[in-house]
Structure 1
């Protein structure tokens, strides 16, 4: 019999917490629940977890402020932020701080479970951070946010272009859907957004990568984009 996966729910509203816990248990998860920052820190310090559902604001803890600390202490733990804060700047801050997804209240149990399962599928183990990449036509320096071609020419990358490439480097061998890139790079809910936003960023990225650009960022028809063979992440 397969081992149940364990999810920790950190939510101070009793009714919302109960709904989350019941939905997850009905779906077959073991669930730990916390109502405040103190109990959350204690649980995170001792329990084996497969995923954390973290409300952005609970007594004794601001989830956005806590995320960078959590990433240092438990870099492989997938995290979904659950919050009433739907502003773009809050979503972007949460994703940049290390969240794997960002769910805005109100949401349906079906949507939440789909997001939990999607994050678990793509996060069997959180990779180490990436400082650069090498490929046949040059290399990428993350800190300098630029591509250096074999010819010696340096080309600056925008934040979005670099974000797309980093997401592919952190997920080698897996086609990445446009909706996932919108969530994880742009910090946007992909529903109702024209996915040409992603396609245009990829086109600009490929151009800056030089003649090998299309081989570095491959198109997978009907699915999205995939890191090309021969591209090596520098840790």
Structure 2
């Protein structure tokens, strides 16, 4: 089972480093941000299982970030990190949909216990797309291949199946190129100018027979990114 990923947004470098080290030691994949604007972008774009969110941050505040997260990802578990004097912010955060809060200073054991409790009672996120039905066949993600009804089989590269899998898992919304670079290629895409996403999508379209004779599978949203066309049937496994 893939490691669960936790993003911690905390401007105090010592606290952030301590939290990140404790989570990593406990077996989680950890992402970090020390500024509200950077953290907000990561919270709405990166693949996460939990968000640890400080209330007082440079740039966007914790409450601002929580509002944006709840608009885009209403079911993402969120734990507020707050100082004792920030009771009003804690209450506001809980009303906005935070799942729990931890008051600073806190022990590592308390934090890990609360993280574990929130993750256990949160609905599990589908982690494995098994296949995608097409008009003239299906994509078998386990075998990294497209099986057409006429008997042709087309092999997908590992990157191509990862890219398509990500778009399938986020069906119903436009996925920006930067988000794809961060979550599929696992690189920091800030300031990066590259056509690699577009080239991979173009190759995928050829393999999917995504042309004028067949219903589109991948849709380009001009100036924004790509999305999976509606109509494909997806099977998930956990």
In structure 2, relative to structure 1, the CA distance for the partners of 1:66 and 1:110 (3 Å cut) is: same
The TM-score with structure 2 as length reference comes to: 0.55
The TM-score with structure 1 as length reference comes to: 0.56
Residue 182 of structure 1 corresponds to 181
Structure with the higher helix share, 1 or 2: 1
CA contact (8 A) 2:146 2:208 kept: yes
In structure 2, relative to structure 1, the CA distance for the partners of 1:118 and 1:139 (3 Å cut) is: farther
Matches within 5 A, 1:53-132: 55=20, 57-58=21-22, 61-62=23-24, 65-67=27-29, 81-82=31-32, 99=48, 109-110=58-59, 121-125=71-75, 127-129=125-127, 130-132=129-131
The separation in 2 between residues aligned to 1:140 and 1:64, in whole angstroms, is 36
Task: After superposition, give the CA deviation of every residue in 1:4-62 in whole Å (9 maximum; x if it has no partner).
Answer: xxx99598xx94266x7xxxxxxxxxxxxx956xxxxxxxxxxxxxxxxxx2x23xx52
Deviation, 1:120, is 5.2
Residue 190 of structure 2 corresponds to 191
The separation in 2 between residues aligned to 1:156 and 1:147, in whole angstroms, is 6
The separation in 2 between residues aligned to 1:201 and 1:64, in whole angstroms, is 36
CA RMSD for the aligned pairs? Answer: 4.0
Task: After superposition, give the CA deviation of every residue in 1:130-153 in whole Å (9 maximum; x if it has no partner).
Answer: 111001121111111111122211
Q: What number of residue pairs does the alignment pair up?
A: 164
Task: After superposition, give the CA deviation of every residue in 1:90-147 in whole Å (9 maximum; x if it has no partner).
Answer: xxxxxx9x6479xxxxxx9448979877765543347423111001121111111111
The separation in 2 between residues aligned to 1:151 and 1:205, in whole angstroms, is 19
Deviation, 1:194, is 2.4
Residue 226 of structure 1 corresponds to 227
The separation in 1 between residues aligned to 2:216 and 2:148, in whole angstroms, is 15
In structure 2, relative to structure 1, the CA distance for the partners of 1:150 and 1:189 (3 Å cut) is: same
Residue 89 of structure 1 corresponds to none
Consecutive unaligned residues in structure 2, runs of 5 or more: 1-5, 35-45, 51-56, 76-123
Residues 1:137 and 2:136 are matched in the alignment: yes
Consecutive unaligned residues in structure 1, runs of 5 or more: 1-6, 21-33, 37-54, 68-79, 85-95, 102-107
* Paired residue secondary structure (1:186): coil
Task: After superposition, give the CA deviation of every residue in 1:153-206 in whole Å (9 maximum; x if it has no partner).
Answer: 111111221111111111111001000000010001112322311000101111
